[in-house]
Amino acid sequence: MGVEVTVEGLTKHFGSQAIWRDVSLTLPAGEISVMLGPSGTGKSVFLKTLVGLLKPDQGSIWIQGQDLTTLRERQLYEVRKLFGVLFQDGALFGSMNLFDNIAFPLREHTKKPESQVRDIVMEKIELVGLQGAEGKLPGEISGGMRKRAGLARALVLDPEILLIDEPDSGLDPVRTSYINQLFIDLNAQIDATFLIVTHDINTARTVPDNIGLLYHKHLAMFGPREMLLSSEEPVVRQFLNAQTVGPIGMSEEKDATELAAESGMELPPLPPIALQLGTSDGRPRQGEKEPGAWCRENGVTPPPGSFASSHAGVPGVSRATGTAPEPVGA
Ligand SMILES: Nc1ncnc2c1ncn2[C@@H]1O[C@H](COP(=O)(O)OP(=O)(O)OP(=O)(O)O)[C@@H](O)[C@H]1O
């Protein structure tokens, strides 16, 4: 379950402003991928392009043998049914209660009888932990609950691909951890392909199977979580470790003088790679890999202390794994 999405040579401009050029990547079926990047690098534009809301200037988006960028509106409408999208603010209708908000796509896009709509809506409400809140208006609940309601709505048509734009925006760290856990549990349950756009480094370090980084109008890197977390590539290293030393400046790329001033500066060592967040009931996920597997298969020595159980308390450490694997590279 879940479908693969392959992007080839995707380029997008708004007028003369280039957003990104030549983006190529594959979102593996059923896996969770995260897209990172400084503000304004076009992460939201990327999500909207994937779902066909924006047209790229060049390139292809392959899903189930069809290139989305060449489809007519009618065919695109059909392919769009594969997607569920959770927009940044939940995009709920303020005058509708949560039940009606969540039921909206079912009533719009299907001819299901109300009894069936009710069953599906209540099932999704339970899935996101909002039982009892279905009669409330969006303005009467917290930001975290609104995100959950938006997620339930994104799920009612049983998507194969779930696109999630900054789920942590406006949430405190504890609520962010809860919603991250929900994504992991949900991924295990529905096996859809997830793409999450986030600024939250802890989310990026502990939730996904794959990480991508958009920077300076291109895709700097995309690959398995362990590949990016062990990478010495300056942009990737700077971004994933939230450092000021590196090529990324306050508003754009640093210039030659700024970079020269940093030459010889010693960077702190790469932090250990934490265990990936596990499901809360211990059930395995389709995209789950053994901790350290990518590093071993690729002859990469992970930072000392990686995948160690002594990182209990580090957000994202699996609660379900029970016994942690032997630390690698310690
Ligand atoms: N419909 C549009 N028309 C013209 N320009 C747009 C449009 N949508 C986005 N842009 C521009 O594209 C650029 C990228 O915007 P986008 O919202 O995708 O960035 P982002 O990486 O998601 O940023 P943030 O992390 O701050 O949310 C911005 O300069 C934005 O102004």
Query: In residues, how long is the chain?
Result: 330
CATH assignment at residue 76: 3.40.50.300
Angle 143-155/173-190 helices, nearest 10 degrees? 10
Which pLDDT does position 247 carry in this prediction? 74
- Measured from the Cα of 46, ligand 1's closest atom is 18
Q: Give, for ligand 1, the residue of 19, 55, 196, 248 to mutate: max count of ligand atoms closer than 8 Å to Cβ.
A: 19
Query: Which residue is closest in CA terms to ligand 1's atom 29?
Result: 40
Which pLDDT does position 261 carry in this prediction? 67
- Measured from the Cα of 199, ligand 1's closest atom is 25
CA of 143 to the centre of ligand 1 (A): 23
Residue 271 counted as domain residue: no
Q: Which helix (H) or strand (E) holds 24?
A: strand 17-27
Query: Which residue is closest in CA terms to ligand 1's atom 27?
Result: 39
Task: State which residues of the chain have pLDDT below 70.
Answer: 1, 89-90, 250-255, 259-262, 264-265, 309-330
In this structure, what is the dihedral angle of CA atoms 228, 231, 235, 240, given to the nearest 10 degrees?
A: 50
Residues whose beta carbon lies within 6 Å of some atom of ligand 1: 14, 19, 37, 39-45
Which pLDDT does position 323 carry in this prediction? 43
Which pLDDT does position 309 carry in this prediction? 65
Query: Which residue is closest in CA terms to ligand 1's atom 16?
Result: 42
| DSSP-assigned beta bridge partners for residue 253 | 248
CA of 249 to the centre of ligand 1 (A): 19
Residue 237 counted as domain residue: no
Rounded to two decimals, the pTM is 0.88
Which pLDDT does position 3 carry in this prediction? 93
- Measured from the Cα of 41, ligand 1's closest atom is 21
Residue 157 counted as domain residue: yes
CA–CA gap between residue 86 and residue 195 (Å, rounded):
10
Report yes or no for ipTM above 0.90: yes
Which pLDDT does position 260 carry in this prediction? 67
Q: Give, for ligand 1, the residue of 43, 164, 252 to mutate: max count of ligand atoms closer than 8 Å to Cβ.
A: 43
Residue 25 identity: L
Residue 47 identity: L
Total of domains in the chain: 1
Residue 172 counted as domain residue: yes
Residue 266 counted as domain residue: no
Quote the domain boundaries for residue 148. Answer: 5-226
Residue 262 counted as domain residue: no
Residue 197 counted as domain residue: yes
- Measuring CA to CA, how many Å separate 312 from each of 182, 204, 318? 20, 18, 9
Residue 313 counted as domain residue: no
